[in-house]
Amino acid sequence: MSNPSKRKGTSAEVAVVGWLREHGFPHAERRALAGVNDKGDVSGVPGVVFEVKSCKRTELAAWVDELVVEMRNADAQVGAVVHKRRGTTDPGRWFATMPLEVFAALLEDGAR
């Protein structure tokens, strides 16, 4: 990854952490890189993995595959790829993508 790409990714992660903290998740923080044992980009929300992306090209399949591995590494039941939306710097307006089975589990939990 080039330095500009790394800076862009770091900036997006910092923005997501800030947004989470402002919206009721005070322990959210950037997670250190861990190679093949990676557990996502943001920690501090128990049981949830966040993979943050700020890329020109959208590659949902690869990003979700990466998320699933990181959820397994973190033993997490919930996870989402948070990807930057063009035209806004507000992470609250960015997109969160997850496998349908993860979304369905959230719906089931919410219905109980």
pLDDT in tens, the chain (112 residues): 567 777 888 999 999 999 999 999 999 999 877 677 889 999 999 999 999 999 999 999 999 999 999 999 999 999 999 999 999 999 999 999 999 999 999 999 877 7
d(C-alpha 92, C-alpha 56), whole Å: 19
Counted residue by residue, the chain has a size of: 112
Q: Copy the structure tokens of residue 25.
A: 């998740």
Residue 7 has what pLDDT?
A: 83
Does the pTM surpass 0.85? The reply is yes
CATH of 3-111, one of 3.40.1350.10, 3.40.109.10, 3.40.190.10, 3.40.50.150: 3.40.1350.10
